[in-house]
């Protein structure tokens, strides 16, 4: 009966141990203080029980040392837990620089994945073991939540913006994926599997399953088809802002504000170009809202993110200002 009992799900990622250690410490602290407080209640109840019908209780004066103790000790424990939790949060929120980027679109009621090589999957994702995997996610409709218990990752997937999470699987296997945010009538059916494979096995699977272009190549094709290259040319800044080397730079806007050119800024500039107009340019770019799908948008944003100047980086250093 007990052989299949697990207090915690299986651990299958590099960060699962950190998350579990914090969780188990919180459980231990909760149990300790619950027992302590319960025992003190019983002890006080017995210690100060009225012994006679006419007995009158005596006032009890406070203790400064006791007041300091039960203020400082919980404060110290709370600050320690905050620091530990912040460390785990930052570890979960910051993918390694060498992480391989995969793309996720949530839709009622399925998960759509795209590999950087172009392969697409629905409700299943194949990844190699021992490789850091960054997931860039968005939703086509409502809020979803990407949850893989074995990896100890859970992140909201929001319409209209990109969110990210990451994991590095430590052992091959098949791990359950859930949507952890109620998203409609068939929410309970919105699940899937993460297949973790040995690197050689993964490469063989990918070679046999590969179809279509890479994400970057598809984005470049859309960039050309939508005539983006007629204005955003590498040899001119007359018509539109310079995009090469844009990612991560500070962009100065017409109203004097500045923003960082991240994935969400690029996405917004495609769908709602009038929202943040770059200083020195007129608001003449048309919107592509409703004209391209979320998958195409991901491909286009990925291509723009990777655009680099042919020469020195200084060529575009001030162009995005």
237 domain-assigned: yes
pLDDT of residue 319: 34
Shared domain check, 190 and 286: no
Does residue 79 fall inside a structural domain?
A: no
Task: Tell whether 6 is covered by a domain.
Answer: no
Q: Name the β-bridge partners of 315.
A: none
Q: 182: domain CATH number?
A: 2.60.40.420
Q: Is residue 48 part of a domain?
A: no
Is residue 174 included in any domain, yes or no?
yes
Give the dihedral sign, CA 217/101/297/307. Answer: negative
321 residues of the chain, pLDDT tens digit each: 445 567 888 999 999 999 999 999 999 999 999 999 999 999 988 888 887 877 777 777 778 888 999 899 999 999 999 999 999 999 999 999 999 999 999 999 999 999 988 888 999 999 999 999 999 999 999 999 999 999 999 999 999 899 999 999 999 999 999 999 999 999 999 999 999 999 999 988 888 766 667 888 888 888 888 888 888 876 655 678 888 888 888 989 888 889 998 888 888 888 888 888 888 888 888 888 888 888 888 888 888 888 876 554 433 333 333
**Domain stop point among 209, 229, 249:** 209
**Could you tell me the CA-to-CA distances from 312 to 233, 245, 309, 316, 317 in Å, in that order?**
17, 10, 7, 8, 9
- Tell me whether residue 287 is in a domain: yes
The verdict on 180 and 223 lying in the same domain is no
pLDDT of residue 248: 85
Taking alpha carbons only, the member of 265, 270, 293, 305 closest to residue 116 is 305
Q: Measuring CA to CA, which residue among 136, 99, 98 is closest to residue 114?
A: 136
Q: Nearest-CA neighbor of 283 among 226, 235, 239?
A: 239
Please give the Cα distance from 103 to 180 (Å, whole number): 19
Number of domain units in the chain: 2
Q: Are residues 188 and 105 in the same domain?
A: yes
- Residue 248: give its domain's CATH number: 1.10.760.10
Domain-ending residue, one of 149, 182, 209:
209
- Measured between its terminal Cα atoms, the distance across the chain in Å is 65
Task: Count CB atoms within 10 A of the CB of residue 211.
Answer: 8
Burial 286-295 (b: 16+ CB within 10 A, else e): eebeeebebb
Beta bridge partners of 100: 133
- Of 188, 209, 230, which one is at a domain's C-terminal end? 209
Copy the structure tokens of residue 213.
Answer: 């272009």
Task: Let me know whether 200 and 242 are in one domain.
Answer: no
Query: What tokens were used for 221?
Result: 């094709």
Q: Measured at the alpha carbon of residue 125, what is the angle toward residues 120 and 129, in degrees to the nearest 5? A: 125
Decide: residue 283, CB within 10 A, 0-12 exposed, 13-18 middle, 19+ buried.
exposed
Place of tokens 């009038």: 274
Domain for residue 302, yes or no?
A: yes
Q: Please count the CA atoms within 13 angstroms of the CA of 165 that sit on its side-chain side.
A: 19
140 and 220 housed in the same domain: no
Q: Which residue has the tokens 């042919």?
A: 310
122 has which bridge partners?
Answer: 112
Q: Which of 124, 238, 114, 94 is nearest to 191 (CA)?
A: 124
Put residue 267 in one of left, alpha, beta given phi > 0 → left and psi -120 to 50 → alpha.
Answer: alpha
* Residue-level pLDDT at 136: 94
Q: Which domain holds residue 272?
A: 215-316
| Segment (H or E) for 209 | helix 199-209
């Amino acid at each position: 009966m007990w052989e299949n009992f697990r207090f915690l799900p299986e651990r299958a990622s590099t960060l699962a141990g950190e998350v579990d250690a914090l969780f188990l410490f919180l459980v231990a602290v909760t149990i300790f203080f619950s027992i302590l407080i319960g025992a003190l209640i019983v002890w006080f109840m017995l210690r100060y029980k009225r012994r006679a019908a006419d007995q009158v209780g005596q006032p009890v004066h406070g203790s400064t040392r006791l007041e300091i103790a039960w203020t400082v000790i919980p404060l110290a424990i709370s600050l320690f837990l905050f620091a530990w939790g912040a460390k785990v949060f930052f570890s979960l929120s910051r993918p390694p620089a060498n992480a391989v980027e995969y793309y996720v679109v949530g839709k009622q009621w399925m998960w759509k994945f795209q590999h950087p090589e172009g392969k697409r999957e629905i409700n299943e994702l194949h990844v190699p073991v021992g490789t850091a995997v960054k997931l860039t996610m968005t939703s086509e409709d409502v809020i979803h939540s990407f949850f893989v218990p074995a990896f100890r990752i859970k992140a909201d997937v929001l319409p209209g913006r990109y969110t990210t999470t990451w994991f590095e699987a430590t052992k091959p296997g098949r791990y359950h994926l859930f949507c952890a945010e109620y998203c409609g009538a068939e929410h309970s059916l919105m699940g899937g599997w993460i297949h973790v494979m040995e690197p050689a096995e993964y490469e063989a699977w990918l070679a046999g399953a590969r179809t279509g272009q890479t994400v970057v190549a598809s984005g470049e094709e859309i960039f050309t088809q939508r005539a983006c290259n007629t204005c955003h040319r590498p040899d001119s800044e007359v018509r539109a802002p310079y995009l090469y080397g844009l990612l991560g730079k500070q962009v100065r806007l017409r109203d004097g504000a500045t923003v960082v050119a991240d994935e969400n800024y690029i996405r917004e500039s495609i769908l709602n170009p009038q929202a943040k107009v770059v200083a020195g340019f007129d608001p003449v770019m048309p919107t592509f809202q409703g004209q391209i799908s979320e998958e195409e948008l991901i491909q286009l944003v990925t291509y723009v993110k990777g655009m680099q100047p042919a020469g020195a980086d200084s060529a575009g250093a001030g162009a995005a200002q």
